[in-house]
Amino acid sequence: MTPRIQQEYVQRFVLFVLSIVLSLLTGCAKVQRSSANDTLITTRLQLGMAYLARDDLDAARRNLTCAVAAAPGDYRTQLGMALYEQRIGEYGAAEQHYRTALRQAPENASVMNNYGAFLCSLGQYVAAQKQFSAAAQRLDYREVAQALENAGYCHFKAGKCDEARTFLVRALHYDPTKGDRVFSEVGHRLAVRQFNEARHLLDIYHHSLPASAESLWLEIRFAALAGRDDERNYHGDRLARSFPHSKQYQQFLANEY
């Protein structure tokens, strides 16, 4: 999992109304906390993360710096700045912000998940798995699924396919929408001809969830790239029977592997 892929862990952020946004752009002096100031800090943070997701790094830094200056004791601002520093490759600074966020919110699963993903991206697999394990003990159903998924892909990155399978199967059972990430990972590995990794991930998906047009299409692509014509045609027939009106079937008919 590369630093750039970490963007996949930035959650959906909603921009506030224009009048509030414009008022935020006039400065970021440290102020006493109040309900109104909390709203402004939150909006700065949301803006910063939204810009980060769009790769507008200057705007992201400006807003996140303001959020930290206004509320350095708020774990959310520290986490936001950690993600920014990680994105630009300042790993030492990112580490400091992650550790600060963890001290401020030691029971927060989102902090643990993001910090674990950061450690995994640096190859610190044992330390990363400790964070994912702690996050999986929380009561937040969504964060548990995220921790299981993160642990699975981190094991995969470390070359531990059996462990990866165990965690990814559990993640898919918790949250079937995690299958979309599997598709993305398989597509990437097919593009760089990492066939063994792609095969493992497809097997994990089909062990956990019913076949879909996308999963069968990936099976077809895998077979075509590996030169396995019988398998390609077998999955093509399955696609024709189950999803005859899908765009994937049209691609199959056009031999667009």
Widest CA span of the chain, in angstroms?
A: 69
- Is it the case that residue 255 has pLDDT exceeding 70? yes
Predicted TM-score (pTM) of the model is 0.80
Under 8 Å between Cβ of 87 and 7: yes
What does the DSSP 8-state code read for residue 193? Answer: T
| Average pLDDT estimate for 3-9 | 42
| Average pLDDT estimate for 168-181 | 96
The dihedral region occupied by 22, where left means phi > 0, alpha psi between -120 and 50, and beta the remainder, is alpha
**Predicted confidence band of residue 140 (pLDDT cuts 50, 70, 90):** confident
Q: Other CB atoms closer than 10 Å to residue 139's CB: what's the count?
A: 7
Q: Which of 73, 65, 76, 82 is nearest to 29 (CA)?
A: 65
* For the chain, percent of residues with pLDDT exceeding 70: 86
Residue 14 DSSP SS3: coil
**Per-chain mean pLDDT for the chain:** 87
- What type of residue sits at position 28? C
| Average pLDDT estimate for 18-45 | 57
Under 8 Å between Cβ of 121 and 159: no
- Is it the case that residue 23 has pLDDT exceeding 50? no
Q: Which of 158, 136, 159 is nearest to 146 (CA)?
A: 136
Helix ranges (H only) for the chain are 18-24, 35-53, 57-70, 75-87, 91-104, 109-121, 125-136, 141-157, 161-174, 179-191, 195-208, 213-225, 229-242, 247-253
Q: What integer pLDDT is reported at residue 40 of this predicted model? A: 83
Rounded Cα distance between 113 and 204, Å, is 22
Rounded Cα distance between 192 and 183, Å, is 14
Between 128 and 37, name the one with better pLDDT.
128
Task: Give pLDDT tens digits for 72-114.
Answer: 999 999 999 999 999 999 999 999 999 999 999 999 999 999 9
Task: Give pLDDT tens digits for 120-131.
Answer: 999 999 999 999
Question: Cβ contacts of residue 161 below 8 Å, gap of 6+?
Answer: 155, 200
| DSSP line for 228-255 | -HHHHHHHHHHHHHH-TTSHHHHHHHTT
The two structure tokens encoding residue 15: 């921009």
Q: Which of 184, 107, 113, 114 is nearest to 148 (CA)?
A: 113
Q: What integer pLDDT is reported at residue 141 of this predicted model? A: 75
Asked which of 41-45, 85-89, 146-150 is least confident by mean pLDDT, the reply is 41-45
| Average pLDDT estimate for 64-78 | 94
Between 257 and 141, name the one with better pLDDT.
257
Residue 135 DSSP SS3: helix
Q: What integer pLDDT is reported at residue 35 of this predicted model? A: 64
Domains detected in the chain: 1-106 (1.25.40)
**Predicted confidence band of residue 28 (pLDDT cuts 50, 70, 90):** low
